Amino acid sequence: MKKIVIPGDKLATIEEYIIKEGAYEDKQGFIRSLYLGSILIDPIEKNLAVRPLKKLKLIDIGDTTIGRISNFSGIYAYVDIFVVNNNVMDRKFTGTLHPPRYRNNRDISRMYKFGDYIYAEVISKANRTIHLSIEKKEFGVILAFCSLCGRALVRDKKSKKVKCKVCNRYEDRKLSTKYGKLL
């Protein structure tokens, strides 16, 4: 049996269970939770425990992220991150996307555009900022939209570009090998 409880929640009476940990007995003889946590009941031993929930794991170097380009500043793009290591996050994080170093000209408008979905790796957390890279092959744009009509672009194998089937035109992106497969 596993249920989430908050501090002070009435869990049972002292006639029903013995407190093992994470709970207390109030003056009325009720067992109440000490933590935001999960309640564990042993029906044979008649034990009750509340185990505190672990704090949300923060984003770490090497984690993979999925997010959307929300802004630009010089050579950097800002990304609203909503998936980390395949888990949807319950709050918003913003990452700073660094342009790939191997590109001589740093014309980032040919690599990603506002509104593109990208798959990126966390490379640093310096200055309390999540720094993202799409340098490796698997990282890059995973879904992009036509600059003219806004429709989703499809990957064109021959040109290694993305194509709008409606406008019949091609656009450049630094594509992830997972383009069209993650979202």
Cβ-based nearer residue to Zn ion, 123 or 167: 167
Helix (H, G, I), strand (E, B) or coil at 138: coil
Beta carbon of residue 169, minimum distance to Zn ion (angstroms, whole number) = 7
Q: Which residues bind Zn ion (CB under 5 A)?
A: 146, 148-149, 164, 166-167
Beta carbon of residue 122, minimum distance to Zn ion (angstroms, whole number) = 33
Cβ-based nearer residue to Zn ion, 144 or 164: 164
Q: Beta partners for 93?
A: 81
Q: What is the spatial distance between Cα 96 and Cα 180, in angstroms, rounded to a whole number?
A: 23
Q: What is the spatial distance between Cα 129 and Cα 137, in angstroms, rounded to a whole number?
A: 23
Cβ-based nearer residue to Zn ion, 100 or 180: 180
Q: Is 160 left (phi over 0), alpha (psi -120 to 50) or beta?
A: left
Beta carbon of residue 167, minimum distance to Zn ion (angstroms, whole number) = 3
Cβ-based nearer residue to Zn ion, 8 or 150: 150
Beta carbon of residue 97, minimum distance to Zn ion (angstroms, whole number) = 24
Alpha helices by DSSP H, listed for 52-118, are: none
Helix (H, G, I), strand (E, B) or coil at 135: coil
